[in-house]
């Protein structure tokens, strides 16, 4: 088989596989945050995957069993679409057992694009809601 025929066969296989699994792939790209409980002893918290519908921020809030977002203790920029292994440097100590809420915020409002300007309760660079719910997950620091 010549190089052109091999390439054509490969492309056909890839395209047929993509069309067959299109609905499964669509589910993987819904807005969300995927992270596990983890050690934050190195001063960083990570999300394995974040899907954002627009450029924005992964914001780390303190939280507790009431599951209300508390003070911001870290943030990292996000690109529209799928973001893998997103790491946010913590600006405050988080002890083992502390709960953190990893939440997607927008890059809307504020004075500067590319500068995180949110403060608790503000509208600038505020939380994004999808179907009336915050786009977030919670983890426990180990």
| The model's pTM | 0.79
What is the tens place of the pLDDT at every residue in 71-97?
999 999 999 999 999 999 999 999 999
By three-state DSSP, how is residue 115 classified? coil
By three-state DSSP, how is residue 109 classified? coil
Q: Which CATH class is domain 31-140?
A: mainly beta
Residue ranges per structural domain of the chain = 1-29, 31-140
Return the higher-pLDDT residue of 2 and 37. 37
**Nearest of 4, 141, 2 to residue 73 by alpha carbon:** 141
Cα separation, 95 vs 91, whole angstroms: 13
Cα separation, 33 vs 48, whole angstroms: 8
Cα separation, 119 vs 132, whole angstroms: 21
């Amino acid at each position: 088989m010549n190089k052109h025929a091999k390439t054509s066969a490969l492309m056909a296989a890839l395209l047929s596989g993509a069309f067959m699994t299109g609905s499964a792939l669509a589910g993987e790209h819904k807005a969300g945050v995927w992270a596990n409980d983890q050690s934050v002893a190195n001063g960083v918290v990570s999300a394995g995957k974040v899907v954002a519908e627009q450029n924005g921020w992964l914001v780390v809030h303190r939280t507790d069993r009431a599951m209300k977002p508390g003070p911001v203790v870290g943030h990292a920029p996000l690109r529209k679409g799928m973001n893998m292994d997103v790491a946010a440097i913590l600006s405050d100590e988080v002890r083992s057992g502390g709960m953190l809420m990893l939440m997607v915020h927008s890059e809307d409002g504020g004075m500067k694009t590319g500068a995180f300007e949110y403060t608790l309760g503000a509208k600038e660079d505020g939380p994004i809601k999808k179907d009336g719910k915050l786009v977030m997950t919670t983890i426990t620091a180990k």
